[in-house]
Amino acid sequence: MVKVIPFKAVRPTRAIVGLVAARPYESYTVDERESRMDYNPYSFLHIVNPGYKYDQVITGEERYRLVRNRYMEFKEDGIFIQDKTPSFYAYKIVNRHGQIFNGIIAATSAEDYENDIIKKHEDTLAQREEIFKSYLQTVGFNAEPVLLTYPDNDVIAKIIQEAQKGYAEFEFTMTYRDTHYLWKIDDKETITTIQNEFKKMGTVYIADGHHRSSSSYLLYKDEKDKNPNHTGEESYNFFMSYLIPESDLVIHEFSRLIKDLNGLTKEEFLIKLDGIYRIENRGMMPYHPSKQHHFSMYLDGEFYSLYLRKSLYKFNTALDELDAQLLYKTVLQPILGINDLRNDNRISYVNGRHEIVTIKSSVDSGEFKVGFGMIPATVEQIKHIADEGLKMPPKSTYILPKLRSGITIYEY
């Protein structure tokens, strides 16, 4: 039984929401961040980078306190306003490729996360969890929802469609040419219907935002332990999520770029690969695999196709079937000597939307020695891995939609 509740979102005013909304802080280069803050006083980046005001790099608890100050200033100046009644929010994104994402922004339960009703498929780093938990405790708000996905539901889809016939609270386009729309759903009967439909679901799945959700869970545990009058309805029991149906989720792969052949010559490397893959030289013609367990490879100015010799590899779990895991277990670890996919500086990742061009140019430049491409994972694969309690390797999926910060804010 999945629990969702409406909440009183803090939101930018309609006139400036497009100026406030920002990509996640880490996705900008330093020059991009500074340029946006130089020319846009409303950007949410001013809140999360408070040291800009003093031309200082500020870290730790001091930074968190200043983030809180900047946020309160945005509220005091009327840049942010808070809804008067708890609401769900129908949210629609139309990206520049014509892909459409429809869903509901709601508060979801930390207890559901604890009980594996909200299922995970990626490992998280304990240090990052603790850092973000401390951040949330100090600043008192969360400005970027976790992306969750649920089985397609006709009742919820119809409610979203009906909401979209009304007046949109927001309608704005970002520089990436993604257009965003938001509608309030505050009718009590409709809210109850939405909650009842989610109650019928046994599980929902994290698509993107594993660290945000795990940090919110740690916050919940801390605050619950400190509160002798804990009821389960306090704001810290929940975290903000954008829930979309599985059919709306778009999954791209991440390709792998490797800086060297682990001391092997090209010929030695190909001979080792031949032990588990059937290899075809495709020459200069760009090649992208079309089937699971097939890979593309770019090496020394030529493309290759790699077909797994299935008799030599055992598929015992859902994780074994995942191509990112398969490549790791058959090539990256045993042949190229890459054990730590998260921290080894010999490996880099390219999201699948740009993979062939980026792989070729990166290898041709000499920065990398070899690149590998694969087809994307499916929603069903992700669900099966999560259901078995397993975790995917880092950078296994590049999932759309990508959300913006500062559009709806959940206060603790």
Query: How many structural domains does the chain have?
Result: 2
Do 273 and 244 fall into the same domain?
no
Is the CA virtual torsion 256, 258, 263, 267 positive or negative?
A: positive
Q: How far is it, in rounded angstroms, from Cα 247 to Cα 249?
A: 6
Average pLDDT value for residue range 206-210 = 95
Q: Are 373 and 294 in contact (CB under 8 A)?
A: no
CA dihedral angle for residue 398, residue 403, residue 404, residue 406, rounded to 10 degrees: -140
* pLDDT per residue as tens digits for the range 71-107: 999 999 999 999 999 999 999 999 988 999 999 999 9
| Helix extents (H) in 184-237 | 188-199, 210-226
Q: How far is it, in rounded angstroms, from Cα 36 to Cα 20?
A: 11
pLDDT value, residue 124: 84
Q: Are 352 and 332 in contact (CB under 8 A)?
A: no
CA dihedral angle for residue 225, residue 142, residue 25, residue 211, rounded to 10 degrees: 40
For residue 132, give both structure tokens.
């973000």
Do 92 and 229 fall into the same domain?
yes
Do 392 and 405 fall into the same domain?
no
* pLDDT per residue as tens digits for the range 298-354: 999 999 999 999 888 889 999 999 999 999 999 999 999 999 998 899 999 998 766
Do 132 and 196 fall into the same domain?
yes
Do 238 and 219 fall into the same domain?
yes
Of 309, 265, 238, the closest CA to residue 88 belongs to 238
CA 19 to chain centre: 22
* pLDDT per residue as tens digits for the range 124-166: 878 889 999 999 999 999 999 999 999 999 999 999 999 999 9
**Who's near 312: CB < 8 A, 6+ residues apart?**
275, 276
Give me the CATH number covering residue 382. Answer: 3.30.1760
Q: How far is it, in rounded angstroms, from Cα 169 to Cα 105?
A: 14
**Per-residue pLDDT at 110 exceeds 90:** yes
Average pLDDT value for residue range 195-214 = 96
Average pLDDT value for residue range 203-227 = 96
Q: Are 243 and 150 in contact (CB under 8 A)?
A: yes
Strands 88-94 and 100-109: antiparallel
**Per-residue pLDDT at 215 exceeds 90:** yes
Do 66 and 145 fall into the same domain?
yes
Do 306 and 328 fall into the same domain?
yes
Q: Are 56 and 62 in contact (CB under 8 A)?
A: no
Q: How far is it, in rounded angstroms, from Cα 21 to Cα 208?
A: 19
Q: Are 256 and 296 in contact (CB under 8 A)?
A: no
Do 271 and 221 fall into the same domain?
no
Q: How far is it, in rounded angstroms, from Cα 308 to Cα 259?
A: 23
pLDDT value, residue 136: 96
**Who's near 410: CB < 8 A, 6+ residues apart?**
7, 9, 10, 107, 141, 142, 143, 145, 235, 238, 239, 240
Per-residue pLDDT band at 229 (split at 50, 70, 90): very high
Q: How far is it, in rounded angstroms, from Cα 331 to Cα 315?
A: 16
Q: Are 141 and 239 in contact (CB under 8 A)?
A: no
Do 9 and 82 fall into the same domain?
yes
Percent of the chain clearing pLDDT 70 (strictly above): 100
Do 202 and 160 fall into the same domain?
yes
pLDDT value, residue 228: 95
What is the average pLDDT value for the chain, to the nearest integer?
94
Return the CA Rg of the chain.
Answer: 23
CA dihedral angle for residue 112, residue 202, residue 128, residue 248, rounded to 10 degrees: -130
Of 228, 212, 229, 289, the closest CA to residue 255 belongs to 289
Q: Could you tell me the pTM of the whole model?
A: 0.93
Do 281 and 212 fall into the same domain?
no
* pLDDT per residue as tens digits for the range 261-299: 999 999 999 999 999 999 999 999 899 998 999 999 999
Do 246 and 340 fall into the same domain?
no
For residue 335, give both structure tokens.
């042949």
Range of the domain at 348: 254-396
